[in-house]
């Protein structure tokens, strides 16, 4: 029996690029956004290393949104078809929202679908299926899933969304409470918000700051102080 010498080539929180060698030998396991080639483990994305026991995982720092089942996203209607709506998802693929997944109400044959969702509407929807060919199916048949009227849209790096939301939504509720804005964050990096104009500006500034400093620790406290400062500056 040949003995493989296993070695870890990176440390926790190292920044790696796609194709970078992370470990040699079979003692380590490829986790999310890594893959095995021969007896090496290589990185698939630009990101930070996270080692949990024997598993090595990459937390992406950049890149487009990759659709995942059960994600709640905010999409824009780009086409109204005979049996549903085509939705732009801020990923490389567009999604389809079928009439049967859009509403539980009865819809007459030949009804005007634009009465439900019209071209250019922003819709909060959940991904119910992603095929291997990346055909995405959406639903709006659950609480909180609906068309967003009014307000404004903000696009952020989708990889920072977990940080924007925070643990059990702690970060985003802090922003909401401080600014009195209604905010909905889609997993695809699209954010919808509505509030008083000046409050919105403060909320956006805070979100941009979270996005920029997502990798630093003690961010919640920093943002709390930042929000107070900004509120004073804008006399809210």
Partner 1 sequence: MQNTTKQHLMKSFQQNTRLDGRGLEEFRKIEVELGISKTAEGSARVKIGDTEVLAGVKMIISTPFPDTPEDGAIMINAEFLPMASSRFESGPPGIESIELARVVDRGLRESKAIDVKKLCIKKGEKVWAVSVDIITMNDDGNLLDAAALATILAVKHTKYPSFDGVEVNYKELTDTPLEITKVPITVTVCKTGNYIYVDPVSEEESNVDARLTVTTTQDGNICALQKGGSMPLSLQDISTMVELASKKAEELRELIR
Q: In terms of CB distance, is 76 or 176 closer to partner 1? A: 76
Stretch 50-89 residues interacting with partner 1 (CB under 8 A) = 76
Q: Which is nearer to partner 1, 13 or 208 (CB)?
A: 208
Q: Pairing between strand 34-37 and 55-60? A: unpaired
Q: Quick check: 234 binds partner 1 (CB under 8 A)?
A: yes
Token pair of 46, please?
A: 């630009």
Q: How far is the CB of 186 from partner 1 (least distance, A)?
A: 16
> How far, in Å, CA of 146 to CA of 141, rounded?
8
List the alpha helices (DSSP H) in the chain.
Answer: 99-102, 161-165, 170-179, 197-212, 219-233
- 3 state DSSP class of 183: strand
Q: How far is the CB of 193 from partner 1 (least distance, A)?
A: 10
Cβ distance 112 to 87 under 8 Å?
no
Q: What share of the chain is helix, strand, coil (3-state, %, to 5)?
A: 25, 35, 40
Q: Whose CA is closest to 206, among 187, 185, 17?
A: 185
**Which CB, 138 or 203, lies closer to partner 1?**
203
- Binding of partner 1 by 151 (CB under 8 A): yes
Mention every residue, 6+ apart, whose C-beta is less than 8 A from residue 62. 45, 46, 47, 157, 159
Q: Judged by CB under 8 A, which of 197, 221, 225, 235 binds partner 1?
A: 197
Q: How far is the CB of 100 from partner 1 (least distance, A)?
A: 25
Token duo for residue 73: 């996203």
- Build a one-symbol-per-residue string for 97-136: x at contacts with partner 1 by CB under 8 A, - elsewhere: ---------------------xxxxx--------------
Q: Is 146 in the site for partner 1 (CB under 8 A)?
A: no
Q: Which of 196, 212, 216, 228: binder of partner 1 (CB under 8 A)?
A: 196
Q: Which of 141, 152, 176, 209 binds partner 1 (CB under 8 A)?
A: 152
Binding stretches for partner 1 (CB under 8 A)? 76, 118-122, 149-152, 194, 196-198, 200-201, 204-205, 234
């Amino acid at each position: 029996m040949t003995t493989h010498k296993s070695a870890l080539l990176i440390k926790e929180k190292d920044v790696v690029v796609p194709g970078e060698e992370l470990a040699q030998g079979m003692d380590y396991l490829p986790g999310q956004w890594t893959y095995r080639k021969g007896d090496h483990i290589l990185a698939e994305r630009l990101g930070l290393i996270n080692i949990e026991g024997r598993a090595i995982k990459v937390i992406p720092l950049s890149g487009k949104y990759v659709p995942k089942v059960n994600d709640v996203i905010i999409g824009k209607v780009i086409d109204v078809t005979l049996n549903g709506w085509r939705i732009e998802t801020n990923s490389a693929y567009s999604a389809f929202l079928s009439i049967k997944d859009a509403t539980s109400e009865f819809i007459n044959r030949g009804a005007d679908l634009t009465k439900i969702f019209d071209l250019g509407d922003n819709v909060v929807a959940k991904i119910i299926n992603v095929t291997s060919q990346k055909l995405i199916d959406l639903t709006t048949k659950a609480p909180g899933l609906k068309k967003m009227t009014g307000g404004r849209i903000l696009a952020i790096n989708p990889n920072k969304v977990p940080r924007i939301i925070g643990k059990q939504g702690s970060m985003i509720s802090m922003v909401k409470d401080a600014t009195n804005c209604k905010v909905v964050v889609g997993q695809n990096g699209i954010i919808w918000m509505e509030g008083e104009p000046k409050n919105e500006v403060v909320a956006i500034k805070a979100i941009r700051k979270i996005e920029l400093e997502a990798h630093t620790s003690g961010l919640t406290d920093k943002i709390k102080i930042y929000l107070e400062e900004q509120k004073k500056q804008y006399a809210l």
